[in-house]
């Protein structure tokens, strides 16, 4: 059973290994991590669980991370949830669309630092 007091993070990525590693990194640090393999499933999961932070891959089959950001920011229930976009390519044009950018591959320290920074910004 998940710890209901743990900060919740939703990870949206179509790459299973990225989802698994990210979830492992954050779970080991006390976060309640939920994962989705598609943008549509991720949006539904965010609406259902209302996490403190969302980590989302930019390039996925179907709609991508920038579309996820647009949908979440247009929704009154989810518009204040910070979203960090993740990509293996440096895409300066997309940096401004999310609240943070994480370059793949990443370390546990990088993911944790970004999540902590976004949570602190949300609470400020």
**Element at 54 (helix H, strand E):** strand 53-57
Write out pLDDT tens, residues 97-118: 789 999 899 999 999 999 999 9
Q: Between residues 60 and 56, which one has the greater pLDDT?
A: 56
Distance, CA of 75 to CA of 5 (rounded, Å)? 25
The whole-number pLDDT of residue 124 equals 65
Contacts 24+ apart (CB under 8 A), 119-123: 119/7, 119/52, 119/53, 119/82, 121/82, 122/52, 122/53, 122/80, 122/81, 122/82
Q: Which domains does the chain have, with CATH numbers?
A: 50-115 (3.40.50.2300)
Write out pLDDT tens, residues 67-80: 999 999 999 999 99
- pTM tops 0.85, yes or no: yes
Distance, CA of 70 to CA of 28 (rounded, Å)? 30
């Amino acid at each position: 059973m998940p710890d209901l007091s743990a900060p919740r993070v939703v990870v949206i990525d179509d790459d299973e290994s990225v989802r698994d590693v990210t979830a492992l990194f954050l779970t080991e640090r006390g976060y309640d991590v939920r994962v989705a393999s598609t943008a549509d499933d991720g949006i539904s999961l965010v609406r259902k669980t209302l996490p403190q932070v969302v980590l989302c891959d930019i390039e996925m089959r179907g709609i991508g991370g920038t579309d996820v950001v647009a949908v979440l920011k247009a929704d009154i229930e989810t518009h204040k949830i910070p979203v960090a976009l993740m990509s293996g390519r440096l895409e300066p044009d997309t940096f401004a669309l999310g609240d943070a950018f994480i370059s793949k591959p990443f370390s546990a320290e990088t993911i944790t630092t970004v999540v902590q920074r976004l949570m602190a910004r949300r609470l400020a």
